[in-house]
Homo-oligomer: A and B are copies of this chain.
Amino acid sequence: MRCLWLERGRLELRTDRPAPSPGPGEALVEVRLAGVCATDLELLRGYAGFTGVPGHELVGTVVSADGATGWVGARVVAEINAACGACEACRAGLGRHCPTRTVLGIVGRDGAFADLVTIPVANLHRVPDAVPDEAAVFCEPLAAALEVAEQVHLGPADRVLLVGAGRLGQLVARVLALAGCDVLAVARHARHRELLERVGVATCGPDDVEARGRFGVVVEASGSPAGFELARRAVRPRGTIVLKSTYAAGRLELDASSIVVDEVTIVGSRCGPFAPALRLLERGAVDVAPLVEARYPIERGADAFEHAARPAALKVLLTMGRAS
């Protein structure tokens, strides 16, 4: 089969990989469409020390499913954390935090930039007919955006600041807007601003935040230390900063005393729930179509990565030749 192979900071097309063999409880999924995410770009720079097939945003068709033949032929999206199902975290319903988990295309498990991928049946979700492939492929990052609402109470009367208006920020903005919040987004690029204003989210530049007062909730989706500093200055006492991006630099400097004095809460936020993401896509409450920037066939994977790394780039999709 064809796949993109990442090894030692290089990405290359391979056309001679054998089809993967699903293990117990796993499905074999034919990938229809996959999305390139910032994490994929980080993997290329060495994040998580990953060697193998990257790709964790996908929509596909089930070819086979161990012990669950009802799935065969289903169009699916898939949660990316493959949990043991038996440990304390799993028993507490926190499989996304299973300490021995593998993560699709990120940790110990080949991902979706390939014709075929194996995924635990327990991770699959059927895609409603009303949701086209190009929307379904956003399910994983939309679930990550919804995780903000899962962790932090977003009151409809809240004033919320969003720092970062790229791929993930655009989805977070849509979630915040649906909650009825008064949302201001810090956006550097005209295209990002325009997309946000279309969904009723006001925007400003980073230097204009101070004049807008303080915010009860600030979502930091830029992944930059400067974005975190901005979030820290903009949050009001007793307010909450949500860290929605992993930080390439890894470490941040924190003025701990000021966090204590102002009683600020900082919430790390990662993967989220798929079911509400699919519901919102099915209801048409979140329109992701304008966020698709480009489509590349898998053979042009390197070009797709290069495109996704451009400043202000939105979603770049990899097509396997079978997307609807």
A270 contacts B by Cβ under 8 Å = yes
Q: Which chain B positions have C-beta within 8 A of A89?
A: 236-237
What's the Cα separation between A42 and B257 when bound, in Å?
A: 12
A195 contacts B by Cβ under 8 Å = no
Asked whether A262 and B228 contact (CB < 8 A) given A89-B237, A251-B256, A256-B251, the answer is no
Chain A residues with a Cβ closer than 8 Å to the other chain, count: 36
Against B, the Cβ 8 Å flags (1 = close, 0 = not) of A261-272 are 111111111100
A255 contacts B by Cβ under 8 Å = yes
What's the Cα separation between A250 and B257 when bound, in Å?
A: 5
Task: Give the distance to chain B from A254, nearest Cβ to Cβ, in Å.
Answer: 5
State the number of copies, please: 2
A256 with B238: CB separation less than 8 A: no
Q: Sort A-B residue pairs by CB-CB distance and give the 4 closest, nearest first.
A: A97-B237, A259-B268, A252-B256, A260-B268
A238 with B97: CB separation less than 8 A: yes
Interface residues of A (CB under 8 A from B): 89, 94, 97, 99, 147, 151, 228, 236-238, 243-247, 250-270
A256 with B270: CB separation less than 8 A: no
Asked whether A266 and B257 contact (CB < 8 A) given A94-B238, A97-B238, A238-B94, the answer is no
Most buried by B among A147, A151, A247: A247
Task: Give the distance to chain B from A220, nearest Cβ to Cβ, in Å.
Answer: 9
Asked whether A243 and B259 contact (CB < 8 A) given A253-B251, A253-B254, A254-B253, the answer is yes
What's the Cα separation between A259 and B244 when bound, in Å?
A: 10
A265 with B267: CB separation less than 8 A: yes
B270 with A243: CB separation less than 8 A: no
What's the Cα separation between A252 and B232 when bound, in Å?
A: 14
B260 with A269: CB separation less than 8 A: yes
Asked whether A254 and B257 contact (CB < 8 A) given A97-B238, A265-B266, A268-B265, the answer is no
What's the Cα separation between A147 and B261 when bound, in Å?
A: 12
Most buried by B among A238, A245, A256: A256
If A94-B238, A243-B259, A259-B268 are given as contacts, then 16 extra A-B residue pairs at C-beta distance below 8 Å, sorted by A number, are A89-B237, A97-B263, A243-B256, A250-B257, A251-B253, A251-B255, A252-B253, A252-B254, A254-B254, A259-B266, A260-B268, A262-B268, A263-B267, A263-B270, A264-B268, A265-B265
Task: Give the distance to chain B from A320, nearest Cβ to Cβ, in Å.
Answer: 29
What's the Cα separation between A246 and B269 when bound, in Å?
A: 25
A256 with B250: CB separation less than 8 A: yes
What's the Cα separation between A268 and B255 when bound, in Å?
A: 11
Q: Which chain B positions have C-beta within 8 A of A256?
A: 228, 243, 246-247, 250-252, 268
Asked whether A243 and B260 contact (CB < 8 A) given A237-B89, A254-B254, A255-B251, the answer is yes
Q: Which chain B positions have C-beta within 8 A of A265?
A: 151, 265-268
Q: Which chain B positions have C-beta within 8 A of A243?
A: 256, 259-260
